[in-house]
Amino acid sequence: MTKKQVDTLVIHAHLFTMQGTGVGYIADGAIAVEGSRIVAVDSTEALLSRFESHKTIDAVNCAVLPGLIDAHIHTTCSLLRGVAQDVTNWLMDATMPYGLQMTPAANIAGTRLSVLEGLKAGTTTFGDSESAYPLWGEFFEEIGVRAILSPAFNAFPLEWSEWKEGDIYPFDVKAGRRAMAEAVDFACAWNGAAEGRITTMLGLQAADMVPLEMLREAKEIAQREGLMLHIHVAQGDRETEQIVKRYGKRPIAFLDEIGYLDEQLLAVHLTDATDEEAIQVGKSGASMALCSGAIAIIDGLVPPAHIFRQAGGPVAIGSDQACGNNCCNIFNEMKLTALFNKIKYQDPTIMPAWEVLRMATIEGARAIGLDRKIGSLEVGKEADLILIDLTAPNLSPTLLDPIRNLVPNFVYAASGHEVKSVMVAGKLLVEDYQVLTVNEDAILAEAQAQAQQLEQRVKADSAHQKMVLMEAMAKGKL
Amino acid sequence: MTKKQVDTLVIHAHLFTMQGTGVGYIADGAIAVEGSRIVAVDSTEALLSRFESHKTIDAVNCAVLPGLIDAHIHTTCSLLRGVAQDVTNWLMDATMPYGLQMTPAANIAGTRLSVLEGLKAGTTTFGDSESAYPLWGEFFEEIGVRAILSPAFNAFPLEWSEWKEGDIYPFDVKAGRRAMAEAVDFACAWNGAAEGRITTMLGLQAADMVPLEMLREAKEIAQREGLMLHIHVAQGDRETEQIVKRYGKRPIAFLDEIGYLDEQLLAVHLTDATDEEAIQVGKSGASMALCSGAIAIIDGLVPPAHIFRQAGGPVAIGSDQACGNNCCNIFNEMKLTALFNKIKYQDPTIMPAWEVLRMATIEGARAIGLDRKIGSLEVGKEADLILIDLTAPNLSPTLLDPIRNLVPNFVYAASGHEVKSVMVAGKLLVEDYQVLTVNEDAILAEAQAQAQQLEQRVKADSAHQKMVLMEAMAKGKL
């Protein structure tokens, strides 16, 4: 029998396809890739009898999994990594003095660093929420990962001098409409770019940050353009207070009233949602993005993802942002998600490893509307996959029978540094720990240079003296 | 001026001495090492003007910290990594069928793997709690880390056939005394071995596992020999039930009554201690070992370390065991400790990064009675230190002024894989990520070979069919 020629064969893997309701394990498994897609998944013996390949990746002593999905990240923020933890009022008293000094050059340096970090740790899809800025899309095109770019907008004015804590936020509708139009333009221009690797959502920052008329317009635009809405929802008590003051009801009830609770919504955080509200959103067809690490550091809270899932809603995982997390690493998020929920319910059986691994792969893909393309290793899907080195000390030994220890070790023992190779859309981006598509050293050097300029600007602005961590600095605790 | 010759100079470091009440940062810091000890700590400029060295370690773009302390670990258990998570009754329904099949060869393979993993992640001191077995001490001597070996004993009989759940445990006093004598012999023989790198504690397994007369004897022996007692205390509701049934009071009250609550006690876990009981132990002069990861996975709980510290007791951190954690990594434990306690108290300011870093260094050293030798980088102390590569993507960029981001990033962003070099007692054990004192590949291969034999023995014993994870295996979830 003549063998069919394919671009790549991955052979001899502990293969976790994530097909079906579990993890879809295949011993000595193999995958055939042609172009950007998977054309066969079976045992190594079966595929070697059917295919020849231009390139063969020997995955002996490796696990092969679908690439991990980071559904909610602010990539620019890695330039602020580590400046805002262990504080109350994280946003205003720690992050903002740095955030105000960001520039387009700082933004792109931060994005490059975050994506480099995530890619090396096995993230292949980045749901990036940023105000669109120069080179944002171009960098994702260059590095080769999959992206769901969500250009974010709000209707805040430049000038807040008359606003007092407790007032409802002022809006500048004209500026807001302009920001929304720019976001829509970006979303439409980049949706489907890079042979479909880059798609978009509309990044409405939060329901308390734009007036009602813009909320209605954004929903209409999203429906017209076929875009999901990537929105922080019930992200904290300040949002709840704003919505209650303005509309007389809590955020979830308000969003329900204006027709936002449906399959088009990716609801980020839900930190301040009650269990009943989480169930309501979970039953509506909407999805949730869960950022365990960030919300623990910023708020000391565990969002209601467990109950959201029990209500039938799909949950994706996100690393949020490095100025309050402090890393862009889905292995970290999987571990924290499993452990925080065990603690929340005082029950070690809650959120077992396999469920969390599904949230980072196939369930996460469903949450962001891409489950027909990614999230599992099956014929017809895009070839987004990672190789994990099982001979790393912290993943050793490999036990297979009667109990297979690999999935628990991915969630509870791995750190992401065991990711040996990464393929997206059939193209190797990382091979034997080397990033192939960008210059890692240049990205690190650029981030350091931009960060030093950033902190000089922060230092030059006397507002920095009010930062709450200045006391810890003065006392020698940092 | 003639320069003094020393063995090693570490220069150009972001130096965290952990002296004083904070983190003791010195910019462009340096350390001079002679023999096993630190002879000077100052700026690089100052030390280069005073010293010449046989070896100079350029720590540019690195942080240098005291080596991390893992105060409570069962090193043999890494051979069972990943076989027991996401279950209730972790011990009996998941771990035990594997534990019963351990052999001396499996034990040492597990110990070698755990210590290799920990060392590469910056752990320099291992508080190992095991029933003494062949080559245990010898391996610690060989690899060169610091160890506090705590030979453990109990008075359980071999035969439990007549015991029913809810009964008090049966004791075999003769066997228990023999086990205790062996533990005492080991502890006395190894205390101060390897030029003082190896010290010992007496590892009484738990107060419910030996009869009262042996508890009294063990305390007398410990006092006579000048050994601390390394004991699981209030580790769960089963212990509490046993102690209440046998003595009519809860574990902490019972230990107080028999004179156990004092500086000689390292109380491990305290999971089932009330806040009042934790305060009582914290005020007594006793220390606590906190195993955040293990207790979250096994019980879904957060032990009362925060309140113990507020009562004045020192807390050390431990990784416990890889069959319920699943890694031997103090960076992991620091992160989980900080985050779990923020969640427990719904307060992001609880357990800030610098406090947790102190628990892993100087406070941990105090908890295990070694703060005059280790835990900070100061003149006269042992030279146990680690270099952390700050150019790792997940630790970049380095921000210094007005906020220094390094300590938060060690706790919230590092995974331990950024540890570049490790020195213990003045001797380099890891240099540029290479382990110098043992053969890493041989340790990994031996662990894998022993693990495969272990799982064959488990499979051959029909008792394995009762393991609770067999269902997850059957359903394709592992």
Residue A470, amino acid: M
To probe the interface with B, which of A60, A81, A87 has the most B CB atoms within 10 Å? A81
User: Which band of pLDDT confidence, cut at 50, 70 and 90, is reported for residue B22?
Assistant: very high
Other CB atoms closer than 10 Å to residue B357's CB: what's the count? 26
Number of residues assigned to chain A? 478
| Inter-chain CB proximity B402 and A459 less than 8 Å | yes
pLDDT band (50, 70, 90) for residue B242: very high
In this predicted structure, the answer to whether residue A161 has a pLDDT above a threshold of 90 is no
Q: What is the mean pLDDT of chain B?
A: 97
CA-based nearest distance A172→chain B, Å: 33
Query: Which residue of chain B comes nearest to A415, CA vs CA?
Result: B415
Closest by Cβ to A348, choosing from B297, B353, B391: B297
Contacts of B159 (CB under 8 A, 6+ apart): none
DSSP string for A354-387 = HHHHHHTTHHHHHHTT-TTTSSS--TTSB--EEE
- What's the pLDDT band for A107 if we cut at 50, 70, 90? very high
| Token pair for A418 | 């065991």
Inform me whether the pLDDT recorded for A330 exceeds 80: yes
Name the pLDDT band for A324 (thresholds 50, 70, 90).
confident
Burial class of A456 by CB neighbour count within 10 A (0 to 12, 13 to 18, 19+): exposed
Residue A73 clears pLDDT 80, i.e. is over it: yes
| Residue pLDDT, tens place only, A417-430 | 999 999 999 999 99
- B408 and A326 within 8 Å at the Cβ level: the answer is yes
At B423 the pLDDT is 98
Mapping DSSP onto H, E and C, the string for A394-428 reads HHCCCCCCCCCCHHHHHHHCCCCCCEEEEEECCEE
Helix (H) / strand (E) element for B280: namely helix B275-283
Write b or e for each residue in B307-346: b if 16 or more Cβ atoms lie within 10 A of its Cβ, otherwise e. bbbebebbbbbbbbbbbbbbbbbbbbbbbbbbbbbbbbee
Confidence of residue B165 (pLDDT cuts 50, 70, 90): confident
- Class of residue A92 by CB neighbours under 10 A (exposed 0-12, middle 13-18, buried 19+): middle
What pLDDT, on a 0 to 100 scale, did the predictor assign at position B248?
98
From the candidates A25, A343, A473, which should be mutated to test the interface with B, based on the most B CB atoms within 10 A? A343
How large a percentage of chain B has pLDDT more than 70? 100
- Residue B298 confidence (pLDDT): 96
Band (pLDDT 50/70/90 cuts) for residue A159 is: confident
pLDDT at A322 over 90: no
What's the pLDDT at B323?
A: 85
Q: Pick from A293, A345, A401: which is nearest to B455 by CB?
A: A401
Select from B209, B270, B343 the least CA-distant residue to B72: B270
pTM for the model stands at: 0.98
- Residue A397 to residue B327, Cβ atoms within 8 A: no
State which residue of chain A sits closest to B322, comparing Cα positions.
Answer: A413
Chain B: give the shortest CA distance to residue A347, in Å.
Answer: 5
To 10 degrees, the CA torsion angle through B18, B23, B24, B27? 120
Distance (Å) from the C-alpha of residue A3 to the closest C-alpha of chain B? 31
Residues B74-101 have pLDDT tens digits of 999 999 999 999 999 898 899 999 999 9
* Residue B287 predicted with pLDDT over 90: yes
Residues A193-208, mean pLDDT to the nearest whole number: 97
B339 neighbourhood in chain A, CB within 8 Å: 293, 296-297, 336, 340
User: Quick one: pLDDT at residue A348?
Assistant: 97
Query: For B169-214, how does the pLDDT look when each residue is reduced to its tens digit (9 = 90+)?
Result: 999 999 999 999 999 999 999 999 999 999 999 999 999 999 999 9
Closest Cα of chain B to A242: distance in Å?
A: 22
For residue range B33-75, what is the model confidence (pLDDT) as tens digits? Answer: 999 999 999 999 999 999 999 999 999 999 999 999 999 999 9
Going by pLDDT thresholds of 50, 70 and 90, the confidence category of residue A165 is confident
Phi (first) and psi of residue A148, to 5 degrees: -115, 95
Q: Tokens representing B144?
A: 């060169």
Task: Select the residue of A325, A349, A465 nearest B412 (Cβ to Cβ).
Answer: A325
Selected residue of B16, B60, B86 to mutate for chain A interface (largest A Cβ count, 10 A): B86
Percent pLDDT > 90 in chain A is 96
pLDDT by residue (tens digit) across A236-262? 999 999 999 999 999 999 999 999 999
Biggest CA pair distance of chain B: 79
Q: Mean pLDDT over residues B17-39, rounded? A: 98
Q: In DSSP terms, which residues pair with B72 in a beta bridge?
A: none
Contact between B27 and B74 (Cβ < 8 Å): no
What proportion of chain A, given as a percentage, has pLDDT over 70?
100
pLDDT mean across residues, chain A: 97
**Residue given tokens 């807390």 in the structure block:** B315
- Return d(Cα A342, Cα A270) in angstroms, integer: 18
Answer yes or no: do A478 and B25 touch at CB < 8 A.
Answer: yes
Distance from CA of A300 to the nearest CA of B (A): 4
CA separation for the pair A121, A388 (Å, rounded): 10
Residue by residue, DSSP assigns B96-151 as HHHHTT--HHHHHHHHHHHHHHHHHTTEEEEEEEE---TTHHHHHHHH--EEEEEE
Q: Under an 8 A CB cutoff, do B81 and A467 touch?
A: no
Mean pLDDT of the region A160-182: 94
* pLDDT 10s digits, B140-162: 999 999 999 999 999 999 888 88
Q: Which residues of A touch B394 (CB under 8 A)?
A: 117, 121, 327-329
**Binning pLDDT at 50, 70 and 90, where does residue B335 land?**
very high
A76-99 residue pLDDT tens? 999 999 999 999 989 889 999 999
CB contact under 8 A, A350 and B300: yes
Per-residue pLDDT tens over the stretch B300-309: 999 999 999 9
Q: What percent of chain B lies above the pLDDT cut of 90? A: 96
Look at residue B1 and tell me whether its pLDDT is greater than 80: no
pLDDT one-digit tens code per residue, A381-425? 999 999 999 999 999 999 999 999 999 999 999 999 999 999 999
Q: Identify which of B340, B467, B476 has the shortest CB distance to residue A402.
A: B467
Q: Where is A107: in which H helix or E strand? A: helix A104-120
- Model ipTM value: 0.98
Is residue A132 pLDDT above 90, yes or no? yes
- Which tokens go with A185? 């333009």
In terms of Cβ atoms closer than 10 Å to its own Cβ (0-12, 13-18, 19+), residue B14 is: buried
B357-384 residue pLDDT tens: 999 999 999 999 999 999 999 999 999 9
Test B116 with A347 for CB contact under 8 angstroms: no
d(CA A319, CA B348): 17
